[in-house]
Amino acid sequence: MAVTVRLGRFLPLGRSSAAAPRLPTCAAGSRGRCVPWRPRGSEVMGNPGAFKRSLLFSALSYLGFETYQVISQAAVVHAAAKVFRIEEILEQADYLYESGETEKLYQLLSQYKESEDAELLWRLARASRDIAQLSGTSAEEKKLLVYEALEYAKRALEKNESSFAAHKWYAICISDVGDYEGIKAKIANSYIIKEHFEKAIELNPKDATSVHLMGIWCYTFAEMPWYQRRIAKMLFAAPPSSTYEEALGYFHRAEQVDPNFYSKNLLLLGKTYLKLRNKKLAAFWLTKAKDYPAHTEEDKQVQTEAAQLLTGFSDKN
């Protein structure tokens, strides 16, 4: 139907009556007999070849348009299905993470390590790091996982620089890699780490983990041994520095954003108060860390350390 309608556009337009040729009433060579005049095909259709080409072009144009519509619709459906699939994977990943299923989470996300989705990639970086932290992971495997995690975090950041989580996990993974690259690299990386933690907080000030990690950064440099400070001064004109008071401010801020969100934040509040010689508040936060429900391997380690520090209190008293 649509092809038939389009053909009308390619038919030759009739000329005006004034310009029309005078048609003979008798055909030549009829020996005086008048016979009806019959127009030749070329007179009706003009150039038959051109007409055929026009007809073919019209049909192809129509078919091309219909094909384009089908392909476009298929592309939209495919894209929507892909987005839905990624969302489904992320939901599964978050459920496994909240359930403390570290190995299952890693197995799930490892299937999509070639993905270009930033949300999936930073979760894979986190899962790789969590596997590396397990007590059963060998030293050699841990190192491989640490560098693997950094690569995933880097790709996540490249795909979406507006992702606070990508900034956060990139900074965490750079910090982990520093353990294998020496004191000089570790100090040099500290500037990058701080920059990405600050960016993560800027993008999402309600993320308690980013705030907590900024506290760890401050605590680490407040606690830096004298010989490392000396090396830092030799290597850098303005080496990184901080104080326990700064660290304490970030740990409390994280707790205000999301109370009891992380066992290690409770532990570090207790340890920071110890550094500031406030045993009463140190005992308060260490007790909370010891009593925190253990969902992960790290939670168990926190419980053990908090209990040991509290035992040290009672022994001295």
Question: Tell me, what CATH number does 128's domain have?
Answer: 1.25.40
Please check whether residue 278 lies inside any domain of the structure.
yes
At which residue do the structure tokens 């520093």 appear?
Answer: 178
The total domain count for the chain is 3
* Spacing of C-alpha 53 from chain mean position: 52
Is position 99 within any domain? yes
Kindly report the number of other CB atoms within 10 A of residue 118's CB atom.
Answer: 20
Owning domain of residue 134: 86-160
Same domain, yes or no, for 273 and 257? no
Locus of tokens 């040729």: 21
- Distances in Å between the alpha carbon of 171 and those of 32, 121, 143, 150, 290? 105, 14, 17, 9, 28
The pLDDT score that the predictor gives to residue 34 is 42
Q: pTM for the complete prediction?
A: 0.69
Distance CA 112, CA 122 (A): 12
- End-to-end Cα separation, the chain, in angstroms: 97
The reported pLDDT for the residue numbered 22 is 38
- Residue 174 confidence (pLDDT): 96
Q: Which residues contact 304 (CB under 8 A, 6 or more apart)?
A: none
Return the SS3 of 29.
coil
pLDDT tens digits for the chain (317 residues)?
A: 443 333 333 333 333 333 433 333 444 444 344 444 344 444 444 555 554 556 455 555 555 555 555 555 544 444 444 555 899 999 999 999 988 899 999 999 999 999 999 999 999 999 999 999 898 999 999 999 999 999 999 999 999 999 999 999 999 999 999 999 988 888 889 999 999 999 999 999 999 999 999 999 999 999 988 887 888 788 777 778 899 999 999 999 999 999 999 999 999 999 999 999 999 999 999 999 999 999 878 899 999 999 999 998 766 65
CA 117 to chain centre: 4
Domain co-membership, 227 together with 243: yes
Look at residues 217, 238, 261 and tell me which one is the last residue of a structural domain. 261
Find the Cα–Cα–Cα–Cα dihedral 192, 194, 200, 203, rounded to 10°. -100
Closest by Cα among 302, 245, 306, 312 to 270:
306
Whether residue 114 lies inside any domain: the answer is yes
Tell me, yes or no, whether 232 and 200 share the same domain. yes
Of 217, 239, 261, the one marking the end of a domain is: 261
Q: Within a domain: residue 92? A: yes
CATH of the domain at 218: 1.25.40.10
Q: Which of 108, 125, 160 is the last residue of a domain?
A: 160
CA contacts within 13 A on the Cβ side of 203: 17
| pLDDT value for 314 | 65
Same domain, 280 and 247: no
Q: Please report the pLDDT score of residue 18 as a whole number.
A: 38
Looking at the fold, whether 298 and 255 belong to one and the same domain comes out as no
Residue 26 in domain = no
**Predicted pLDDT of residue 26:** 41
Per-residue model confidence (pLDDT) at position 3: 37
**Per the domain annotation, does 35 fall within a domain?**
no
Q: Considering the domain boundaries, does residue 290 fall inside one?
A: yes
188 and 145, same structural domain?
no
Position 67 scores a pLDDT of 55
Report the pLDDT value the prediction gives residue 187, as an integer from 0 to 100: 86
Spatial separation of the C-alpha atoms in residues 121 and 119, rounded to whole Å: 6
With a CB cutoff of 8 Å and minimum separation 6, the contacts of 58 are 3, 6, 7, 9, 10
Domain assignment present for residue 286? The answer is yes
Cα distance between residue 231 and residue 215, in whole Å: 23
* 3-state DSSP assignment of residue 280: helix
Write the DSSP assignment of the chain as a string of letters.
-HHHHHHGGGSPPPPPGGGSPPPPSS-TTSTT--------HHHHHS-HHHHHHHHHHHHHHHHHHHHHHHHHHHHHHHHHHHHHHHHHHHHHHHHHHHTT-HHHHHHHHHTTTT---HHHHHHHHHHHHHHHHSTTS-HHHHHHHHHHHHHHHHHHHHH-TT-HHHHHHHHHHHHHHGGGSHHHHHHHHHHHHHHHHHHHHHH-TT-HHHHHHHHHHHHHHHS--HHHHHHHHHH-SS-----HHHHHHHHHHHHHHSTT--HHHHHHHHHHHHHTT-HHHHHHHHHHHHTS---SHHHHHHHHHHHHHHHHHHHH-
- Tell me, rounded to whole angstroms, the distance of Cα 93 from its chain centroid: 14
State the Rg of the chain over Cα. Answer: 38
**pLDDT of res. 36:** 43
